A and B are shown apart, each in its own frame.
Chain A
Amino acid sequence: DGGITQSPKYLFRKEGQNVTLSCEQNLNHDAMYWYRQDPGQGLRLIYYSQIVNDFQKGDIAEGYSVSREKKESFPLTVTSAQKNPTAFYLCASSIDLAGEAEAFFGQGTRLTVV
């Protein structure tokens, strides 16, 4: 079955720690995205990548970093510089580099600061 796999489903972070969220896709999509969702709100774009070894900042990139070393993988690191990291994080991919095709989403990672 093709799809997007995010892990872990739940993640707890202590103050001052960096944590990395995994996102893997086997859809052969070039475009991949990371979104943040807070309760009662829509999705806000953190980073996106249209090709291996290249990525761009979205609307709320501060305190986050990404890498795209393989087409299938787009991990997100939440750094200690992110002051309010508790949220639901969603990874997505799309076949269309222009963004005119739909996005396929993973099941999300819920990050909580303890």
Chain B
Amino acid sequence: EDQVTQSPEALRLQEGESSSLNCSYTVSGLRGLFWYRQDPGKGPEFLFTLYSAGEEKEKERLKATLTKKESFLHITAPKPEDSATYLCAVHAGKSTFGDGTTLTVKP
């Protein structure tokens, strides 16, 4: 059975304090690992797709990396508007989502 575990559950940062979110996965035949951002009461919004170990993608203050067992979402110098829940999902025939990391960035 495919499993996705995200840590920490919640993360509180000061504005400008960089950190990383973790997504550990167990899956047979990974076809893609996805990161989404979800604001309260809204649907998730796509951020990145990673397909193979060693792959990296960047967008503004966010950088996603992938190994054979986990993915990291690095947040550099975060701003309050980066506050959201970040969801990781793996796809191997069907998508399996983690429970998310809720990030709060204080000014």
- Can you list 21 residue pairs at the A/B interface with Cβ under 8 Å? A6-B43, A41-B100, A42-B4, A42-B100, A43-B44, A43-B89, A43-B97, A90-B43, A90-B44, A99-B93, A100-B31, A100-B49, A101-B32, A101-B49, A102-B46, A104-B46, A105-B43, A107-B43, A108-B41, A108-B43, A110-B41
Expressed in whole angstroms, the Cα–Cα distance for A102 and B49 within the complex equals: 7
A114 part of interface (Cβ distance < 8 Å): no
| Residues in B neighbouring A102, C-beta threshold 8 A | 34, 46, 49
Closest chain-B Cβ to A65's Cβ sits at a distance in Å of 19
**B45 CB–A CB distance under 8 Å:** yes
Give the shortest distance, in Å, between A27 (CB) and chain B (any CB). 13
Residue positions of B touching A, CB distance < 8 A: 4, 6, 9, 31-32, 34, 36, 41-46, 49, 51, 87, 89, 91, 93-95, 97-100
A105, B44: Cβ atoms closer than 8 Å: yes
Judging by beta carbons under 8 Å apart, are B94 and A48 in contact? Answer: yes
A63 contacts B by Cβ under 8 Å: no
A110: nearest residue on chain B (CB-CB)?
A: B41
Q: Which residues of B are found within 8 Å of A44, using beta-carbon distances? A: 97
Complex contact B42–A107 (CB within 8 A): yes
- In the assembled complex, the Cα of A6 lies from the Cα of B34 at a distance in Å of 22
Inter-chain contact B97/A42, CB cutoff 8 Å = yes
Residues of B contacting A58 in the complex (Cβ-Cβ under 8 angstroms): 94
Find out whether the CB atom of B31 lies under 8 angstroms from the CB atom of A98: yes
Do residues A99 and B95 form an inter-chain contact, with CB atoms below 8 A? yes
Residue of A nearest to B45 (CB): A105
Given the complex, which residues of A lie within 8 Å of B32, measured CB to CB? 99-101
CA distance A23 to B28 in the complex (A): 31
Across-interface contacts of A40 in B (CB, < 8 A): 9, 99-100
Min CB–CB distance A90 → chain B (angstroms): 5
Closest to B51 in A: A100
Whole-angstrom distance between the alpha carbons of A106 and B38 in the complex?
12
A-B CB proximity, top 8 nearest: A105-B43, A42-B97, A102-B46, A43-B97, A99-B91, A42-B99, A100-B31, A100-B32
